[in-house]
Amino acid sequence: MHTRWIFFFLSGMLFLSACTEVEEELPLKQIIVSEKAPKAIGPYSQAVLVGNTLYCSGQIAIDPATGKLVTESFEAEVKQVLNNLKAVLEAAGMDLSDVVKTTVFLKDLNLYSTFNEIYGSYFGENPPARETVQVARLPKDVNIEISLIAVRTRK
């Protein structure tokens, strides 16, 4: 009888020890902030890093130096959005080659081919997975917003 009790006691201790080890191995959640990208315009972070994975909130074409929207052309808007995302990636020690997924929100899908040309020039030969959708409205009535997920890998 005592042997069973000791067995169950030791089994329980091993289980609790294993649970504690799992908790210690969980990756930390780190908030990423870049001064070279616009400040969040709501209660959200520019990006969150968990382990080697970075989740970037959607960026719109706000010039971080002035805090004003870039509105002179759709092309300039797209470039500003991508440059904002690059700045957030850099703050996390990453670059565009680490991006594995983007989500693109366009106000008008008629702008798709123009967007695609600029987007392709930023991502090159090995672009990330992506979906592009048309939406009725975006924050500050911009034409485009892009969010992304990046993973730090060996290069």
Question: What domains can be seen in the chain, in order of their start residue?
Answer: 27-151 (3.30.1330.40)
* pLDDT digit string, tens, across residues 6-63: 545 545 555 555 555 555 688 899 999 999 999 988 899 999 999 999 999 999 999 9
| Encoded tokens for 123 | 């991502």
Work out the burial of residue 63: count CB atoms within 10 Å of its CB; fewer than 13 is exposed, 13-18 middle, 19 or more buried: middle
pLDDT of residue 12: 55
Residue 125 has pLDDT above 60, yes or no: yes
The whole-chain average pLDDT of the chain stands at 89
Q: Are 62 and 68 in contact (CB under 8 A)?
A: yes
pLDDT of residue 9: 52
Share of the chain above pLDDT 70, in %: 84
Average pLDDT over every residue of 89-114: 98
pTM for the predicted model, two decimal places: 0.83
CA separation (Å) from 134 to 4, 69, 90, 109, 129?
65, 20, 28, 6, 17
Q: How far apart are CA 130 and CA 132, in angstroms?
A: 7
CA separation (Å) from 46 to 38, 58, 113, 115?
8, 8, 27, 22
Strand order in the sheet with 99-106: 29-32, 47-50, 53-59, 144-151, 99-106, 129-134
Q: How far apart are CA 84 and CA 40, in angstroms?
A: 12
Residue 155 has pLDDT above 70, yes or no: no
pLDDT of residue 25: 82
